[in-house]
Amino acid sequence: MQDEFASLPAIVPKGPIAIFGLGGGTTARLMLDLWPSLQLDGWEIDGILIDKAREYLGLSYLEKHTVAGGILNVHIGDALSQSVNVSEGYAGIVIDLFSEGKVLPQLQEVNTWLELTDRLMPKGCLMVNCGGINEVSVVTDGVPRPETSSIDGH
């Protein structure tokens, strides 16, 4: 999915891009590799994950200006908070928010999407990872896989 996220700068106006659900920084790394002048705001609720990503995954490298002036500004907190915004609006927002493999309940509410759209500049765009892990899964060879069933449930 991160490969698809990296295509966002090509289809949005010039301006800052937010990543809601920064995780270890894979999307930010790909974006800055392809678009080294990007201004990225990455939001992650899990401060321990950010610490580990800085220590083991090179996240701190992305927090320094590239030769072309791009940078990742890391924010620890709730990306869906009303306070998350940029004055002119974001050119694009990547939404990659899950809890325990499930889409957040807030993302199933119309008002959340209206608020997210209000954070965009004109012609800005949301890019969303709608995937997740099925609640019911089986482990095969140590790998969790969604359980399959026939239409009649057998």
Q: Which of 51-55, 107-111, 130-134 bottoms out in mean pLDDT, i.e. has the lowest? A: 130-134
Q: What average pLDDT does the structure give for the chain?
A: 87
Residue 80's closest CA among 120, 40, 112? 112
Q: Structural domain boundaries of the chain?
A: 2-146
Given this model, what pLDDT does residue 140 score? 63
Contact residues for 58 (Cβ-Cβ < 8 A; gap 6+)? 25, 29
Q: How many residues does the chain have?
A: 154
Given this model, what pLDDT does residue 142 score? 61
- Residue 19 CB-density burial (10 A; 0-12 exposed, 13-18 middle, 19+ buried): buried
Percent of the chain with pLDDT over 70: 83
Contact residues for 93 (Cβ-Cβ < 8 A; gap 6+)? 17, 18, 19, 20, 116, 119, 120, 124, 125, 126, 127
Q: Report, as an integer, the average pLDDT of 36-40.
A: 97
CATH of 2-146, one of 1.10.3720.10, 3.40.50.720, 3.30.9.100, 3.40.50.150: 3.40.50.150
Residue of higher predicted confidence among 135 and 9 = 9
